[in-house]
Amino acid sequence: MLSVLLAVVLFLLALGIAGAVFGVPWAARIYAAAACACAVAAVAAVVFLVARADVPEALVLPVGLPWLSAHFRIDALAAWFALVINVAGTASAVFAIGYGGHNDEPARVVPFFPVFLAAMNLVLVADDAFAFLIAWEFMSLSSWLLVLSNHRRPGNARAAQVYLVMAALGTACLLLAFGIMAGPDGAYRFASIRDNPPQGAAAAIALALVLLGTGSKAGLVPVHAWLPLAHPAAPSHVSALMSGAMTKVAIYGLVRLLFDLAGPVPWGWGAALVAVGALSAVIGILHAVVERDLKTLLAFSTVENVGIAVMAFGLAIVFRTNAMGTLAALAFTAALFHVLNHAIMKSLMFFVAGAVEVSTGQRDLEKLGGLIHRLPVTATLALIGAASIAALPPLNGFVSEWLTFQAVLNSPSLPQWVLKFGVPVAGALLALSAALAAACFVRAYGMAFLGRPRSRKAAEAVEVAPSMRWAMAGLAGLCIGVGILPMVPAAAMAPLVRRFAGVDFAPLADGLSFGDFMLLAPVTPGVSSYSGFVVLIAVVAVTLASIEGVHRLATNRLRRAAAWDCGFPDPSPATQYTASSFAQPLRRVYASTVLRARDHVDMPEPGDARPARFTLSMRDLAWDAFYAPVERGVTWLAERMNTLQFLTIRRYLVFMFTALIVLLVTVALAK
């Protein structure tokens, strides 16, 4: 299977070159080929997970550094993330067949899109630090170029700049972390790191750097602020990949380093992940719930979902270090499950945002509305996606969040007092973020698709191209399918969970019968269990019964009415609830402290004819506390370094000479 994945990577790179050579006229063909390649990779990953998950495959290619050939390896962990990424990649490439032509400058997107996909796949199969970092940086740079593709739109150039700085910072952290983990002998192969994991203070520093490096790519608070700038700036199919797939690659990096290479880590790291995850979940969704821009809202929701997944991973570490295998398996399953679910539903929602943007030309919620009449197919699929991301049963989003809650609810059995009290607090934050997520997506869906159009373009929207609808429909189908049959992915990730936790995920422990597919009982059947299938049947039955009941019980007497006009006497759409007025109660309650949200009302004096004005200001504290200093520091350093460009030849020689002498003196003193 490894050779299949590497072949797919090579094929995608070749597609990138073809995109650069043949350009826009071949765009649809290139996207179609990329979709096929990703589908092949996804199938290969499934085959590996089902058939040979316990036997990792490795390959050494004589490329890269001469003393360290490029090592590649696939195991169950890599295969699971390859499945996640290639599902998102396939859908995104299919979506792009119809969507690609609507980009501002397609020639800037077509060559880099397959390269981005290839780089993400390459990160997953890399088996030495060098290959990993090369692939990681390739991923960062190709996505940076994609972010920059709409560079003429206001704000995008700045978003790309911030992204580049943060990507470089993240890679630098990983570089240092690998340097520490490899030790003084430079053992950069993952196998060597796995055999000799770092100890003591070195391990602590390395893991902190790993958390910072991968967390900044995944969008964990407080290093998330680039994400809501950069993800929406890219074309929508790329935004879907960045949010749906690239954050997963970052999580993969975290899991690979923290769970696999670093050996058994102390429970403190699990607690740190739980804390960071819970904080990310709440802050991310608070931003999302007050956001006006549809794509930025989705990007903030990514911060929330990454937080949930990281929190579940943290719980898995905590349970494992306390030798509670069953619960560790539960938390690990929940985390991996959420990774898959988020990739599916976030890609779907970004496709919806792309479809809305294509058909109306905007993504500001205050200018949308009533699209359910103009885009019936998109609206239905968007409803499925929104319900799924708001974690409503019987869809997939519910399953993973529910599993996470099951893990949280079992935390009082932990021996450490910090965790006994801390994890339920994190669980409360998780519950809050789940509720806010529901509010957020009710608002997003309601403002965009319901009510009356708030702008002329929204009133004249037309349904989007078939390939875009098919991509969305496929993902919506996955949302439903995974939601009602959660045991299928759970069975696929079973070898991975078994390897990590030592025991099987409870429902899978004693084989899998047909009935088990219908019922999900993560701990014991008596305590808590869930069946998506039953919920689906119940939802359908209740819906049909209500429709029937309403039709039967309602009077069929004809009524004519105009007086109050159903609450719409004024035809102006401005009389509707706006997106910010819908969010106002939540903004008052939560965001006034966390986001420093302030309302400014400028009311004219009586007799003054000028209009009253309402403005809203918000600040991201993470920006002030973390990003602004980093950005200032980098700029300062860059300006200082700039003078190095203008030195005399002799001064360059002085630098070399001084460096040489310093090194030689160090060697002499070290003797």
Partner 1 sequence: MLRGLHFDIAHTLSVSVLLFSFALLYQRRIMGVLNAFALQALMVAAAAAWQAYSQEAPHLYATAGIALVLKALVVPIALKRIIMRLGIHRAIETVIEVNGTLLAGVGLVALSILLVFPVAQDSAALTRENLAIALSIVLIGLLMMITRRNAVTQVVGFMSLENGLVLAAVGVQGMPLVVEMSIAFSVLVAFIVFGMFFFRIRERFDTLDLQYLESFRGDRGQDHRP
Closer of 612 and 669 to partner 1 (Cβ): 669
Q: Which of residues 94-123 bind partner 1 (CB under 8 A)?
A: none
Closer of 610 and 671 to partner 1 (Cβ): 671
The answer to whether the beta carbons of residues 404 and 321 sit under 8 Å apart is no
| Nearest distance in Å: CB 662, partner 1 | 11
Residue 425 contacts partner 1 per CB under 8 A: no
Q: Which residues contact 394 (CB under 8 A, 6 or more apart)?
A: 480, 483, 484, 532, 533, 535, 536, 539
Residue 572 contacts partner 1 per CB under 8 A: no
Number of residues that bind partner 1 (CB under 8 A): 16
Closer of 574 and 668 to partner 1 (Cβ): 668
| Nearest distance in Å: CB 654, partner 1 | 5
Closer of 488 and 660 to partner 1 (Cβ): 660
Q: Which residues contact 22 (CB under 8 A, 6 or more apart)?
A: 30
Contact stretch for partner 1 (CB under 8 A) within 16-24, 48-56, 520-528, 655-663: 655-663
Closer of 601 and 649 to partner 1 (Cβ): 649
Closer of 558 and 670 to partner 1 (Cβ): 670
| Nearest distance in Å: CB 157, partner 1 | 24
Residue 668 contacts partner 1 per CB under 8 A: yes
| Nearest distance in Å: CB 655, partner 1 | 9
Count of CB atoms situated within 10 Å of the CB of 540: 11
DSSP letters, 631-643, are: HHHHHHHHHHHHG
Closer of 152 and 671 to partner 1 (Cβ): 671
Backbone angles phi, psi at 600, to 5 degrees: -120, 120
Distance between CA atoms of 475 and 88, rounded to whole angstroms?
9
Closer of 547 and 665 to partner 1 (Cβ): 665
Q: Which of residues 194-213 bind partner 1 (CB under 8 A)?
A: none
Q: What angle do CA 202, 497, 278 make, to 5 degrees?
A: 65
The answer to whether the beta carbons of residues 451 and 361 sit under 8 Å apart is no
Contact stretch for partner 1 (CB under 8 A) within 1-9, 384-392, 581-589, 659-667: 659-667
Residue type, 89: G
Count of CB atoms situated within 10 Å of the CB of 248: 25
Residue type, 63: V
Residue 661 contacts partner 1 per CB under 8 A: yes
The answer to whether the beta carbons of residues 84 and 121 sit under 8 Å apart is no
| Nearest distance in Å: CB 660, partner 1 | 7
Binding test (CB under 8 A) with partner 1, winner from 61, 539, 653, 659:
653
Sign of CA dihedral 231, 234, 235, 241: negative
Q: Which of residues 210-229 bind partner 1 (CB under 8 A)?
A: none
Residue 51 contacts partner 1 per CB under 8 A: no
Q: Which of residues 586-645 bind partner 1 (CB under 8 A)?
A: 645
Secondary structure of 275-296 in HEC code, one letter for each residue: HHHHHHHHHHHHHHHCCCEHHH
Closer of 592 and 658 to partner 1 (Cβ): 658
The answer to whether the beta carbons of residues 126 and 72 sit under 8 Å apart is yes
Place of tokens 């004819």: 609
| Nearest distance in Å: CB 646, partner 1 | 6
Closer of 593 and 642 to partner 1 (Cβ): 642
Count of CB atoms situated within 10 Å of the CB of 179: 15
Residue 417 contacts partner 1 per CB under 8 A: no
HSE of 231 in the Cβ direction (CA atoms, 13 Å)?
Answer: 34
Contact stretch for partner 1 (CB under 8 A) within 144-152, 215-223, 471-479, 662-670: 662-670
Distance between CA atoms of 273 and 610, rounded to whole angstroms?
52
Residue 657 contacts partner 1 per CB under 8 A: yes
Could you tell me how far CA 16 lies from the centroid of its own chain? 24
Residue 537 contacts partner 1 per CB under 8 A: no
Q: Which residues contact 60 (CB under 8 A, 6 or more apart)?
A: 69, 70, 71, 72
Could you tell me how far CA 516 lies from the centroid of its own chain? 30
Residue 191 contacts partner 1 per CB under 8 A: no
Distance between CA atoms of 549 and 343, rounded to whole angstroms?
39
Closer of 17 and 662 to partner 1 (Cβ): 662
Closer of 559 and 671 to partner 1 (Cβ): 671
Contact stretch for partner 1 (CB under 8 A) within 20-28, 142-150, 187-195, 646-654: 646-654
Closer of 625 and 656 to partner 1 (Cβ): 656
| Nearest distance in Å: CB 665, partner 1 | 7
Residue 659 contacts partner 1 per CB under 8 A: no
| Nearest distance in Å: CB 640, partner 1 | 16
Contact stretch for partner 1 (CB under 8 A) within 248-256, 271-279, 610-618, 658-666: 658-666
* Tokens linked to 38: 């990703």
| Nearest distance in Å: CB 641, partner 1 | 15
Whose CA is closest to 295, among 155, 93, 100, 88? 155
| Nearest distance in Å: CB 638, partner 1 | 16
Q: Which residues contact 583 (CB under 8 A, 6 or more apart)?
A: 289, 290, 443
Residue 662 contacts partner 1 per CB under 8 A: no
Residue 660 contacts partner 1 per CB under 8 A: yes
Closer of 418 and 654 to partner 1 (Cβ): 654
Whose CA is closest to 504, among 54, 74, 47, 78? 54
Binding test (CB under 8 A) with partner 1, winner from 428, 537, 539, 665:
665
Strand 57-61 versus strand 598-602 pairing type: unpaired
Residue 649 contacts partner 1 per CB under 8 A: yes
Residue 152 contacts partner 1 per CB under 8 A: no
Closer of 20 and 644 to partner 1 (Cβ): 644
Q: Which residues of 95-132 are buried (b: 16+ CB within 10 A; e: fewer)?
A: bbbbbbebbeebebbbbbbbbbbbbbbbbbbbbbbbbb
Residue 671 contacts partner 1 per CB under 8 A: yes
HSE of 208 in the Cβ direction (CA atoms, 13 Å)?
Answer: 6
The answer to whether the beta carbons of residues 413 and 553 sit under 8 Å apart is no
Binding residues vs partner 1 (CB under 8 A): 645-646, 648-650, 653-654, 656-657, 660-661, 664-665, 667-668, 671
